Amino acid sequence: MTDELVIKDLHVSIEGQKILNGVDLVVKKGEVCALMGPNGSGKSTLAYTLMGHPKYIVDKGEVLYKGKNILELAPDERAKLGVFLSFQYPQEIPGVSVSNFLRTALNSVKPGQTSVPDFVKLLREKMKLLKIDDSFSRRYLNEGFSGGEKKRAEILQLAVLQPEMAILDETDSGLDIDSLKIVAEGVNTLLGPNMGVLVITHYQRLLNYITPDKVHIMVKGRIVKSGGKELAHELEARGYDEYKEFEKEEVV
């Protein structure tokens, strides 16, 4: 059994169109991996495939985690294994408070039932850690939330569920610089040896606040270059133009 998330030769299509064309990637527990690439390169497709969205069809490949090919598991089983996805566009759930949502989610992924007093204690601890006001937990999930508040709700969910492998899909999307700093600070507070993180982003700016151990560039559904945190700075300076040659290659 391994704590690494190992993606091997992953090919994925949606509605007959091929999106991922042989992705190979390893995310280790305790590390932060950044996945970068231009729009339409397949980054979010990878995130949704890892979590089991039925719209994405796996044509080939496997994703190994804790001795299992998680592609063969239902989304809830993947969550119970400790895999978590923070959405780029979190959905509103009117009538369901943040607190009730989080307690239901926690009891769904963790063995046994967490009592109300224990959950309230846990929630308050995590909200204090993330510098979130107590009133936040009583609001309906994402209803009337700003972009920054929606992303903070996702990070609070990450804190409460305490997954071992977290996928953050463009957490910086739609955030102004102040909101970005707040969300990044929340993520950094939760980082440690017990959680691997795959940060998916289009821009380097998020990585000014969350320092990756490894950076991977995806173009046309494939990883075309990997390196250390300096690779993100190269992209900031030079952009994706030098990788356009990969877009022109025919994938078979």
**Complete DSSP assignment for 131-146:** T--GGGGGSEETTT--
- In-domain check, residue 135: no
Comparing CA positions, the residue from 161, 163, 223 lying closest to residue 192 is 163
- Output the pLDDT for position 198: 97
- In-domain check, residue 127: no
Beta bridge partners of 59: none
* pLDDT > 50? residue 47: yes
- In-domain check, residue 203: yes
- In-domain check, residue 160: no
- In-domain check, residue 172: yes
Structure tokens at 7: 């993606």
How many domains is the chain partitioned into structurally? 1
Beta bridge partners of 97: 140
Q: What percent of the chain is predicted at pLDDT more than 70?
A: 96
- Output the pLDDT for position 2: 66
- In-domain check, residue 150: no
- In-domain check, residue 145: no
* pLDDT > 70? residue 216: yes
Report, as an integer, the average pLDDT of 65-91.
Answer: 93
Q: What is the pTM of this model?
A: 0.90
Q: Rounded to whole angstroms, how far apart are CA atoms 66 and 20?
A: 23
- In-domain check, residue 86: yes
- Output the pLDDT for position 248: 43
Reported confidence tier of residue 123, pLDDT bands at 50, 70, 90: very high
Q: Rounded to whole angstroms, how far apart are CA atoms 28 and 165?
A: 9
Structure tokens at 91: 């959905």
Domain containing residue 200: CATH number: 3.40.50.300
Which domain, by its residues, includes 57? 5-93+166-248
Query: Which residue's structure tokens are 């719209």?
Result: 55
Summarised one tens digit per residue, pLDDT across range 92-121 is 999 999 999 999 999 999 877 788 999 999
